[in-house]
């Protein structure tokens, strides 16, 4: 009998449980927890890992380990790598559009947001080898000296991403890493799948493992630990709830973290250099002039 002619009973679909992205790998949450992700109509789409405090610590360790190698690369090389990521985002455009439609966006809106996210990643990639020229300077001094100011990355940046699951994600992650920082990202809680797909893109691109680490789960559980973590140098609170910001800022004061608290619309509008310079340090060097 030809099996293809046999009437097949209805089958159950395989329920996907997505993992975290830490150190270039896809581990399960150490807690074993997950939570269901539904589409705009309330239909089940997949399960996402619910990261724990230990997962957040592991992500910070991975980001710190990757920082030395990433920050020491030439700015031109970082730009090349980010541009490669943009190429791969373009290749998976249809998947991102589908995921945004599941999150409730219309077909044209989902396509427009996907295109804007890809274009914005390219825009930040182009700044990699230009940022030092714009933010650095040769300073006039009185005496036989040269005096130069140059930007340096702050270190490990924690990012609480907004609920715009792709454009908001790209608008907060790309400017953090283009200058040499590494990042630990808490993805959109209700719509984490674009972040998971971005993690798959990063894992198969030239970006070194640990430069970007993506956690899915409850913001209210993860953000306080990242804000108070003594090995996190800065935190972006774009996606934090208004009622949580003050407590997170107080926790961040423990090791004098830089805190970026966005105002509405500052990442949805045309990008600028502000998000890149927010996580830069300025090093000034004096050097005697030859006689």
pLDDT digits (tens, 9 = 90+) for 91-113: 999 999 999 999 999 999 999 99
Of the pLDDT bands very low, low, confident and very high (cuts 50, 70, 90), residue 6 is low
Asked if residues 239 and 186 have their Cβ atoms less than 8 Å apart, the reply is: yes
What is d(CA 261, CA 258) in angstroms, rounded to the nearest whole number?
10
How many CA atoms, within 13 angstroms, populate the side-chain half-sphere of residue 42?
A: 0
Q: Where are the alpha helices (DSSP H) in the chain?
A: 53-71, 75-91, 93-102, 107-126, 131-135, 167-177, 193-203, 219-228, 242-252, 274-277
| pTM summary value | 0.91
What confidence category does residue 221 fall into, taking pLDDT thresholds of 50, 70 and 90?
very high
33 vs 102: CA distance, rounded Å: 23
75 pLDDT more than 90: yes
Least confident span in 6-10, 193-197, 271-275: 6-10
Measured CA to CA, the distance from residue 105 to residue 97 in angstroms comes to 9
pLDDT cut 70: percent of the chain above it: 93
Answer whether CATH 3.30.1360.100 is correct for domain 17-36+45-288. Answer: no
Average pLDDT, the chain: 91
What tens digit of pLDDT does each residue of 129-146 get?
Answer: 999 888 877 778 888 878
**Residue 56 near residue 221 (C-beta atoms within 8 A):** no
User: What's residue 7's pLDDT?
Assistant: 54
- pLDDT single digits (tens) 158-167: 999 999 899 9
Residue 151 near residue 136, CB atoms below 8 Å: yes
* pLDDT band of 152, cuts 50, 70, 90: very high
Phi, psi of 24 (to 5 degrees): 85, 0
| Domain-wise residue ranges, the chain | 17-36+45-288
């Amino acid at each position: 009998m030809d099996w293809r002619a046999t009437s097949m009973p209805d089958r159950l679909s395989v329920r996907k449980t997505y993992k975290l992205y830490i150190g270039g790998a896809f581990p399960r949450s150490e807690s074993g927890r997950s939570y269901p992700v539904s589409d705009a109509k309330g239909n089940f789409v997949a399960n996402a890992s619910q990261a724990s405090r230990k997962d957040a610590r592991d992500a910070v360790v991975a980001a710190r380990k990757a920082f030395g190698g990433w920050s020491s690369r030439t700015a031109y090389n970082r730009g090349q790598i980010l541009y490669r990521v943009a190429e791969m985002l373009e290749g998976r455009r249809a998947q991102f559009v589908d995921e945004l439609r599941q999150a409730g966006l219309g077909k044209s809106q989902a396509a427009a947001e996907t295109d804007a996210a890809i274009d914005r990643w390219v825009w930040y990639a182009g700044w990699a080898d230009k940022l030092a020229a714009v933010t650095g300077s040769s300073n006039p001094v009185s005496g036989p000296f040269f005096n130069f100011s140059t930007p340096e990355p702050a270190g490990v940046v924690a990012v609480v991403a907004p609920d715009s699951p792709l454009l908001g994600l790209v608008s907060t992650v790309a400017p953090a890493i283009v200058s040499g920082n590494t990042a630990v990202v808490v993805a959109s809680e209700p719509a984490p799948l674009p972040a998971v797909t971005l993690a798959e893109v990063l894992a198969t691109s030239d970006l070194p493992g640990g430069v970007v680490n993506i956690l899915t789960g409850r913001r209210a559980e993860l953000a306080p630990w990242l804000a108070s973590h003594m090995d996190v140098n800065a935190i972006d609170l774009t996606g934090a709830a208004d009622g949580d910001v003050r407590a997170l800022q107080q926790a961040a004061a423990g090791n004098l973290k830089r805190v970026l608290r966005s105002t509405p619309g500052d990442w949805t509008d045309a990008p600028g250099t502000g998000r890149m310079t927010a996580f830069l340090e300025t090093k000034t060097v004096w050097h005697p002039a030859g006689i």
